[in-house]
A and B are shown apart, each in its own frame.
Chain A
Amino acid sequence: MDTLLQQLINGIVQGSIYALVALGYTMVYGIMGLINFAHGEVVMIGAMVAISALGALMALGLPMGLAAPLALAAAMLVCMGLGAGLERIAYRPLRNAPRLTPLITAIGMSIILQNLAMMIWSRNYLTFPSLIEKVSFEVAGAHFSNVQALIVVLAGLSMAGLLLLVYRTRLGMAMRATSQNLAVARLMGVDVDRVIAAAFIIGSAMGALAGFMVGAYYEIAHYQMGFMLGLKAFTAAVLGGIGNLAGAMLGGLLLGIIEALGAGYIGDLTGGFLGSHYQDIFAFVVLIGVLMFRPSGLLGEKTGERA
């Protein structure tokens, strides 16, 4: 019984990270119908920049309490620039191209970013310095650490911030209008270019935060870490209903929990035939299952194509 609670806790922590990344996918998809394949790479670069910044700041003798927020800020800034650049250079010129075109571009950008990161940060696993003294709590036989708690709280806060932005500001209104109907929004005077750029920038900032968290949580980073993470986060977005903000959050949490429970119990379920190294397949099974039975996702609306 204690494993159940333990896996739930682990799942929620991992799930909040998925949710953060999923928001990046879902915003861009909601507004312009593009799967930004390179988003996982943005997350990875967030983690990498954070490592470099932490190293530099600590070498300057800054205390961790100061270095960590600064490094996070640096990662977010770099990623926001990266997101804006991606949108401006790679995707904007293709806005009227057939569907496959931007998708292939996105794959190309993902490869480029991965290899650039490998050249800059080497192909080795990098250790992410531990940011705070780890304290572990125990509840009903399950353990959770202050790092885990911090991740969940930070993720929750930033998601709340995003919701405020989207539902309480002019920019948010423009974003919602654009995601309903881009052409009409433009006719009504919405600066669509700006809205799309904003979606990329905000998504990338949240991606950087997620990258930072992954690094801090697992204390490790690698130039290929963005790929799987991105794929799973996308799955989370689809699970919740792509294009839907609340859906991305729900989908992220659910996927995290499904994965954690699945990894915990797969051995029992298959009589020991499959072990926990099959953890990664859950996301895909979920993805295929959702697409089969409820392609619009949990919170998404069914939309018909207009003839």
Chain B
Amino acid sequence: MTKIAVNFASADVIQKPNMSEVIIETGALLNINWAHVTSSGGEMVIDVPDDKLEDVVKSFEERGAHIQVLERLVLKDDEKCINCGACISMCPVGVYYYGDDWSVNVKVGVCVQCDLCVVQCPMGALELKLQD
């Protein structure tokens, strides 16, 4: 899951069922954490499944919303990763963990972008995705 902030800055947009349209259009199950709507606009924080993130952002933006991805991502290139685990002990917030088969998995949405794992990875398999 990735958290995004959705911002509608004009009164006419909030009169449309934007949220429902986005859900129907993308098929993404969105979880609303927080919402604040007034006559001049609205703001929401929602959880989006990672595989639908791009679609959901696009769908909101087409409806005139401004989107901000709140939790920034660390990306692991599985083609480069050899599943060693060197990243595991580096991470202060426990993003990486061994699976049952000793593959190295990534917990999404907790990375604090400290960069330690990126320089530790001997395969150069990690990258911090910069968000606005």
Q: Note whether A and B form a binding pair.
A: no
B interface residues (Cβ-Cβ under 8 A, vs A): none
A interface residues (Cβ-Cβ under 8 A, vs B): none
